[in-house]
A = this chain, B = another copy of it.
Amino acid sequence: MASKTDLTAVNTIRALAVDTVGKANSGHPGAPMGMAPVAHILWSRHLNYSSKNSKWFNRDRFVLSNGHACALQYVMLHLAGYKVSMDDLKSFRQVDSITPGHPEVGVTDGIEVTTGPLGQGISNAVGLAIAQAHMGAVFNKEGFPLVTNHTYAFMGDGCLQEGVSGEACSLAGHLKLSNLIAIYDDNKITIDGDTAVSFTENVEQRYKSYGWNVLHVENGDDDFEAIDAAITEAKKNTNGPTMINLKTKIGYGSLKAGSHDVHGAPLKKDDIAQMKTKFGFNPEETFAVPQEVTDLYAKIGDKGAKAEAEWNELFNKYKQEYPKEAAELERRIEGRLPDGWEKALPVYKIDDPAIASRKLSETVITKIVEVLPEVVVGSADLTGSNLTRWKTAEDFQHPSTGLGSYQGRYFRYGVREHAMEAICNGLAAYGGIIPLCSTFLNFVSYAAGAVRLSALSHLRVITVATHDSIGLGEDGPTHQPVETAAWLRALPNLAFWRPADGNETSAAYLTSILSPHTPSVLALSRQNLPQLENSSIEKATKGGYVVHESENADVTLVSTGSEVGLCVEAAQQLKSKGITSRVVSIPSFEVFGAQDRDYKLSVLPSGHPILSVEAYSTFGWGQLSHDHFGLKAWGASGPYAKVYEKYELTPAGIAKRAEKVVAFYKKRGQPLFSPLISALDDISE
């Protein structure tokens, strides 16, 4: 039953959120004010959490998909007893505070995923729910309900309009994720005003079409019991995910309630005063928490700590009855990789056959899934092209489909690249899972919103991106990436790998898996690539190494992936013309950039010109080479060898340009410095 304390708590939340935004003179007060009731009911009666241990594994996961409402989330975390102090609330939106303008995982205690960009949070939530279902299916035993948490997401009109959320929710319905509960803040207001201007679809009907359960709360402002009842009912549903359509008034309590003015600008002083007065608070006071509210949440905190303690006991019993499983679960929760797993990675010799790197990748995956049970893999409906599914794989499916089970580790994402990446962010954020996903490199761009957040959030998501260039041939320029490598290389904290042979492919996987805070994208070829002289997993893990060394070289050819082998041939042609060349492979700019000075200069030294060769735009090669040979614009549709010929990306075409480069700098007649050396970068002399 809703009590007076509930109302006081709800109004406390509203006032704190308004003060938080007001102090910063920036932020979004409206949704926090409208969602204060559901936040209070959820957190005080349903959400299973232990605020002193935000990493308790079986905690319910909470995602604020409408991340601009984060003043609400920070207030809840504060009240609930997480490491979010009143001073943190007062530093909202200030440089170096732990309460940034949109919620960021890793920055603030209790934040599960980074949100703000609309549609992402609910899609992450689908991933978190999948993770729970999977880990539960793998580890739970009769009498040991260890992994049983719910995943709750708040979302607004904005999230619902974004395509990524539709993709993710369609898949969530197909997978019948019954522990996923999304609460839709239906306030009919967006930045442009009433949703009537652009968003008039029947949301409930759409979610039913996805196979979701839809519940209603007509008065999300005042009817706390209805909110409670809806969540209670949602938790009981075993037939798939549930959406609670919650009608609220944005900015409830403000003079501007119900208008878009209250969405994204701080309330005016007189408005705040009248609101506080109306709520029975002192209009002169800011950041006030009545004792009864403090006490209420303290009690809930104790309850949570007790729940965690009970879980720990349960786990201890589990350890005794299922020691192997317990050790595995512990290992995976802590993110420790099994000793010696990397021995599974294939090693190649120069006389091994030429193999397409997408095929090399298939071999790696087939081997590592045996030694790393935390690895799950999926494809956006390109399984047979990405070569990501191993023969003995079981699909992750609801058992009622007859197509798999929740123990399954292979994911059929459907033609939903953006949701795939956002879901993988959720999988990675949950704990205990290393998600691999796959599509064509060109269509990783469809997921740019989510990929960016993988990097910002420091999540280890590994994207297997095949058909990586004009090498895909006939599908043509609509499918052939040109600009994609530049985008991914410019993105901070993302390792873009373009391995050139078997050892490099193994190295890409090795480094990606050993990088728990960095996402990786592996660009893989459709065409066969020869094994390279001097390549080894060890060398390739440096992100760059010398494939072919020469003393007194006239030129260095630096390349990646499928073009390295062409450079090796070009070097032979140049030799017959009296030009001595070195050949260097840089499978990852990011990883190479992290090596020490001496090593990098040994790979790309001063003294002679360096020419880059890559079947992409040359944009960005200036950091590693003096001259650049690549695509001037788009690819073309045709058999791939003919496309390479069209653009002269052949050994002869490379050799021709290398000769020109050598002559040019000889004519200039002055010492040539490695592009790695510059005034401001880390190698300055």
Q: A439-485: which have CB < 8 Å to B?
A: 442-443, 445-446, 448-449, 452-453, 456, 473-479, 482-483
A469 to chain B, nearest CB (A): 14
Q: Does A634 contact B (CB under 8 A)?
A: yes
Q: Is the CB of B161 within 8 A of A476?
A: no
Contact of A679 among B162, B211, B609 (CB under 8 A): B609
Give the contacting residue for A190; candidates B24, B381, B490, B623; CB below 8 A. Answer: B381
Q: Are B163 and A164 in contact (CB under 8 A)?
A: yes
Which parts of A474-511 form the interface with B (CB within 8 Å)? 474-479, 482-483, 486-487, 489-493
Oligomer: number of copies: 2
Q: Which of A401, A403, A491 lies at the interface centre, i.e. has the most chain B CB atoms within 10 A of its CB?
A: A491
Closest to A161 in B: B415
Interface residue? A171 (CB, 8 A): yes
Binary flags per residue of A607-625, CB closer than 8 Å to B gives 1, else 0:
0010100000101111100
A203 at the interface (CB under 8 A from B): yes
Q: Is the CB of B661 within 8 A of A104?
A: no
User: Which of A173, A381, A486, A679 has the most C-beta atoms of chain B within 10 angstroms of its own C-beta?
Assistant: A679
| Surface stretch bound by B, among A111-119, A224-232, A251-259 | A111-119
Q: How large is the interface on A (under 10, 10 to 19, 20 to 34, 35 or more residues)?
A: 35 or more
Chain B neighbourhood of A115, CB < 8 A: 478
A210 within 8 A of B: yes
What residues on B are CB-neighbors of A628 within 8 Å? 678, 680
> Chain B nearest CB: distance from A551 CB in Å?
23
Minimal beta-carbon separation of A170 from chain B (angstroms): 5
| Residue A200 is within 8 A (CB to CB) of chain B in the complex | yes
Query: A207 to nearest B CB, angstroms?
Result: 8
Report if A3 contacts B (CB, 8 A): no
Beta-carbon contact of B24 and A418 below 8 Å: no
- Whether A475 and B116, one on each chain, are in contact in the complex, defined by CB atoms closer than 8 angstroms, is yes
Cβ of A664 < 8 Å from any Cβ of B? yes
CB-based contact B198/A638 at 8 Å: no
Docked complex Cα distance between A27 and B206 (Å): 34
Specify which chain B residues have a CB less than 8 angstroms from the CB of A191 in the assembled complex.
381-385
CA distance A161 to B646 in the complex (A): 35
Contact B476 A101, beta carbon cutoff 8 Å = yes
CA distance A453 to B483 in the complex (A): 12
Query: Would you call A167 an interface residue if the criterion is a C-beta within 8 Å of the partner chain's C-beta atoms?
Result: yes
> Which B residues are CB-close (under 8 A) to A413?
198
A55 part of interface (Cβ distance < 8 Å):
no
CB distance from A473 to the nearest CB of B (A): 7
In the complex, A205 has a CB within 8 A of chain B: yes
Given A167-B163, A416-B163, A675-B622, residue A403 in contact with residue B197 (CB < 8 A): yes
Q: Which of A35-43, A89-97, A576-584 lies at the interface with chain B? A: A89-97
- Give which listed residue, B94, B209, B419, contacts A209 with CB less than 8 A: B209
The answer to whether A637 has its CB under 8 Å from any CB of chain B is yes
Contacts of A679 in B (CB 8 A): 609, 611, 626-627, 657, 660-661, 663-665
Which residues on the B side are within 8 Å of A201 (C-beta)? 170, 173-174, 209-211
Which of A205, A384, A663, A680 has the largest count of B CB atoms less than 10 A from its CB?
A680
Contact of A101 among B170, B637, B665 (CB under 8 A): B637
Q: How far is the CA of A665 from the CA of B383 in the complex (A)?
A: 53
Which chain B positions have C-beta within 8 A of A665? 679
**A332 to B621 alpha-carbon distance, docked (Å):** 42
**Beyond A162-B415, A415-B162, is A478–B492 a contact (Cβ under 8 Å)?**
no
Q: Is the CB of A157 closer than 8 A to any CB of chain B?
A: yes
Bound state CA distance, A413 and B191, in angstroms? 12
Q: Are A162 and B167 touching (Cβ within 8 A)?
A: yes
Interface flags, A410-441, vs B, CB<8A=1, else 0: 00111110110000000000000000000000
Are B401 and A93 within 8 A (Cβ)? Answer: no
Chain B nearest CB from A382 CB (Å) reads: 6
The interface residues of chain B lying within 8 Å CB-to-CB of A475 are 68, 101-102, 116
Partner of A483, one of B197, B381, B487: B487
Does A47 touch B at the CB level, under 8 Å? Answer: no
Interface residue A397 (Cβ < 8 Å from any Cβ of B): yes
Cβ contacts A to B, 13 pairs, < 8 Å: A93-B638, A95-B646, A102-B637, A162-B446, A191-B384, A196-B403, A197-B412, A197-B414, A445-B449, A446-B449, A483-B487, A487-B487, A629-B680
- Since A197-B397, A611-B680 are in contact, a sample of 17 more A-B pairs with Cβ atoms closer than 8 Å, ordered by chain A residue number, is A94-B639, A95-B638, A96-B636, A104-B478, A116-B479, A163-B416, A191-B384, A191-B385, A192-B414, A197-B403, A200-B211, A202-B211, A205-B209, A456-B477, A486-B490, A492-B632, A621-B622
